[in-house]
Amino acid sequence: MVGNPEQIRAVAARLRHEADQLRSVSVRVGATRGIAWRSAAANAFRERVAEAVHGERRVAQLLEDAAAAVERHAAAVERVLDELARLAQEAAGRLGH
């Protein structure tokens, strides 16, 4: 994977997929805040759910950020590989003369 831009991009895609999955879980967890019961326990439950949803959304954003960084890395590797190929072709042309 180290030098293969497509494999690197596949890692970014997996990170984005995980972020999407986590957002989906966050929506389902967040829906439990609408419970009808009223009590101190219910209020504490709602607070914990809100904290969990906030944490899940934060982690999802961190996964998105990581995916973007991995994409940038893939692009940089691709540029380097393209430049190496260009230089190799140029050197081969010079040796052929």
Domain count, the chain: 1
Mean pLDDT over residues 73-93, rounded? 95
The CATH number of the domain holding residue 25 is: 1.10.287
pLDDT at 96: 78
Among 73, 82, 83, smallest CA distance to 10 is for 73
pLDDT for residue 2 is more than 90:
no
Residues spanned by the domain of 70: 5-95
pLDDT (tens digit per residue) in 15-44: 999 999 999 999 999 999 888 989 999 999
Whole-number Å distance between alpha carbons of 31 and 25:
10
Count of beta carbons in the 10 Å neighbourhood of residue 8 = 21
Mean pLDDT over residues 52-64, rounded? 98
Distances (CA, A) of 74 to 17, 31, 71, 81: 17, 37, 5, 10
pTM of the predicted structure, to 2 decimals: 0.82
